[in-house]
Amino acid sequence: MIRVIPVGLLRQYVGGQEAMALEGWAGRPVRALLEGLEMPSPLVGAVLIHGTLVTKDHVLAEGEEVKLIPLVGGG
C-alpha cells in the first residue's frame, strides 16, 4: 500500500480527498502514479516521500507516504 497526500489544488484530481491508500503501485515510478491519477505532471512542483524531496522518477516502495505539492505561481 502507498499512502498519497495531494495538497491544495491537486486534490481536485482525487475527488477532493485529503489522503488515500492505493494498492499495486510499489515498484513503479511516481510519474506513473501521476498518470494513473490523471494528474498533470507539470502541476506537481514537488514530491515528498516521508518528508524527503525526490524526483518523479523515484520508484515507489511498499508503505511509502507520498506528498504531492502543487506548483504555485503568482504575479
User: Could you report the per-residue pLDDT of 40-69, keeping only the tens digit for each?
Assistant: 999 999 999 999 999 999 999 999 999 999
Tally of domains within the chain: 1
The pLDDT of residue 72: 80
Residue 32: inside a domain, yes or no?
yes
Quote the domain boundaries for residue 11.
Answer: 2-70
CATH of the domain at 9: 3.10.20.30
Q: Are strands 20-22 and 2-6 parallel, antiparallel or unpaired?
A: antiparallel
Mean pLDDT, rounded, of the chain: 95
pTM beyond 0.75: yes
Q: Using 50, 70 and 90 to split pLDDT, how confident is the model at 74?
A: low
Contacts of 37 (CB under 8 A, 6+ apart): 4, 13, 14
